[in-house]
Structure 1
């Protein structure tokens, strides 16, 4: 199989924190989300290969008039503004980050423009399902539960999950989390589901990454279970915090969300993804945004037909 199984919670070296300047604002946690479904249920490797397409349509055969875009010629994208290095707004006001720059490159292959609009993660998938956005871009883990409401492209990235804590805290990893630990998560994320349904703890839910991290720094929570990419974008020297454990999660690859009724757009994005993998753009952007990260040898992006160029 193109993407062979990796053990969930396989410990990897913690990535070096990126020096990204952020304005972390305070704020109150949201209330509980009821009974979210287990994000990891049914997401074994057989399922992943089932969802990864065998091949894609040739770019020149894509009918741009049939893509069902909200604005013809433009992909309207819902994304986040506060989750570097994946999805954020830079100092010039530009939506950027690994996920968004990759999507820009894919749109260029299709001869389309991209317009990004900011939203909260908890609302993003429903907004794609309701056709407020053509695409959702937010390092979205492609769980079976989420596939009930939206469609996904082939995977463009694998995931990490991290525990962030104060440097002098007793929490040094996932094994130290207990029912008495005040655990921050962003509402509606895989981390929310993991803490709630797998660990069976009640987390403190926040609407965005900035606020979750700010509440860790000020001591309102004891730990933050976060996507490792976003954790590296938040933690800075002098914060008194650290990524105490980071683990590989390839069981749910990350992909762009598309309305489940818009197969032409999903197919077109899959074609564009294979194109940017084949020409080296995916590798270039991955190195640019994740300079210290090691990609698992048995994981690769795009369809089963495309190969990441060596070198």
Structure 2
């Protein structure tokens, strides 16, 4: 596989040019090309994550919710996305929903706390959580060593796949077909951005959100989209002329909720609530609802090491 950088297009439509501009000035914790290939997903493999997963959790009745450092007492203020079904999106009624957000609602119920969701771009989310503009970040966030320098994380509540989406008649049939000649869409600041830039050593076309990235694939402005498999599944529809051409567990990593690294009490409380919704069957119910065809790996479980699926 070639590792040289993608040359910028000499002529690009306004939508793509705008995405380039947004990527250039955006924040994020993401991809900056280095001199040699690096493992952008370092710290997101199952063995590494074992050291971050807590042995057990505090009993719910021992948690003082008045001492969680919340922006608004009694309410968890959550930064999330509006366009990434089935995990995080706004439905037709204007409600923030999706697997990640509904699970967080159930966890908040265990703590007898309210939840207020606010929309943001992923490229800004982690820095906003670190600066305490949000109490929590909810966005299927893969936990990596690089991201742990910015935010703290709860125990894992899900695991991640990575996908390549392309036109059905495209020569791109998987990761092996990505090269310097491929216009590769990613959402800025995501693990996919890091992976394409720092591991594959290719220069992707960065977009501010999933809808824009996928729209540019459908219109042929880019050749492929490297995306989280969950979001790819939520975007690709019959009649679009596109397909998920490859979907793999790049690392059997976990996704978690992001919290300011200085707010350990909130991390501990959320870990307790996560175990509670695992123990009472809510996690399994929501997982089946939002991922009806997905099989959970036998050697992976959510929550603390003490959590047991019913």
TM-score, scaled to structure 2? 0.89
Q: Identify the residue that residue 19 of structure 2 maps to in structure 1.
A: 29
Q: Identify the residue that residue 81 of structure 1 maps to in structure 2.
A: 82
Q: Identify the residue that residue 187 of structure 1 maps to in structure 2.
A: 188
Q: CA deviation at 1:258?
A: 0.3
Structure 1 ranges of 4+ moved more than 4 A:
none
Task: Return closer, same or farther for 1:250/1:301 CA change in 2, 3 Å cut-off.
Answer: farther
Q: Distance in 2 between matches of 1:39 and 1:78?
A: 24
Q: How does 1:105-124 map to 2 (within 5 A)?
A: 105-124=106-125
Q: CA deviation at 1:40?
A: 1.1
Q: CA deviation at 1:294?
A: 1.1
Say if 2:178 is the partner of 1:177. yes
Q: CA deviation at 1:249?
A: 3.8
Contact 1:158 1:249 survives alignment (8 Å): no
Say if 2:222 is the partner of 1:232. no
Q: Identify the residue that residue 260 of structure 2 maps to in structure 1.
A: 259
Contact 1:77 1:116 survives alignment (8 Å): yes
Contact 2:44 2:254 survives alignment (8 Å): no
Question: Which stretches in structure 2 are left out of the alignment for 5+ residues?
Answer: 1-14, 25-30
Q: Identify the residue that residue 206 of structure 1 maps to in structure 2.
A: 207
Q: Distance in 2 between matches of 1:235 and 1:84?
A: 10
Q: Distance in 2 between matches of 1:291 and 1:43?
A: 25
Q: Distance in 2 between matches of 1:42 and 1:247?
A: 18
Q: CA deviation at 1:301?
A: 0.2
Q: CA deviation at 1:250?
A: 4.3
Q: Identify the residue that residue 271 of structure 2 maps to in structure 1.
A: 270
Q: Distance in 1 between matches of 2:151 and 2:40?
A: 14
SS at match of 2:51: helix
Contact 2:59 2:272 survives alignment (8 Å): yes
Contact 1:54 1:305 survives alignment (8 Å): yes
Task: Return closer, same or farther for 1:42/1:140 CA change in 2, 3 Å cut-off.
Answer: closer
Q: CA deviation at 1:269?
A: 0.1
Q: Identify the residue that residue 147 of structure 2 maps to in structure 1.
A: 146
SS at match of 1:285: helix
Say if 2:297 is the partner of 1:296. yes
Count of paired positions: 285
1:75-126: CA deviation from partner (whole Å, max 9, x where unpaired) = 0000000000000000000000000000000000000000000000000000
Q: CA deviation at 1:248?
A: 1.2
Q: Identify the residue that residue 92 of structure 1 maps to in structure 2.
A: 93
Q: More displaced, 51-60 or 246-255? A: 246-255
Q: CA deviation at 1:181?
A: 0.3
Q: Distance in 2 between matches of 1:122 and 1:276?
A: 29
Q: More displaced, 290-299 or 206-215? A: 290-299
Q: CA deviation at 1:158?
A: 0.2
1:241-296: CA deviation from partner (whole Å, max 9, x where unpaired) = 00000001444310000000000000000000000000000000000000111111
Q: Distance in 2 between matches of 1:156 and 1:41?
A: 19
Say if 2:294 is the partner of 1:281. no
Contact 1:128 1:257 survives alignment (8 Å): yes
TM-score, scaled to structure 1? 0.89
Contact 2:32 2:197 survives alignment (8 Å): no
SS at match of 2:253: strand
Q: Identify the residue that residue 28 of structure 2 maps to in structure 1.
A: none
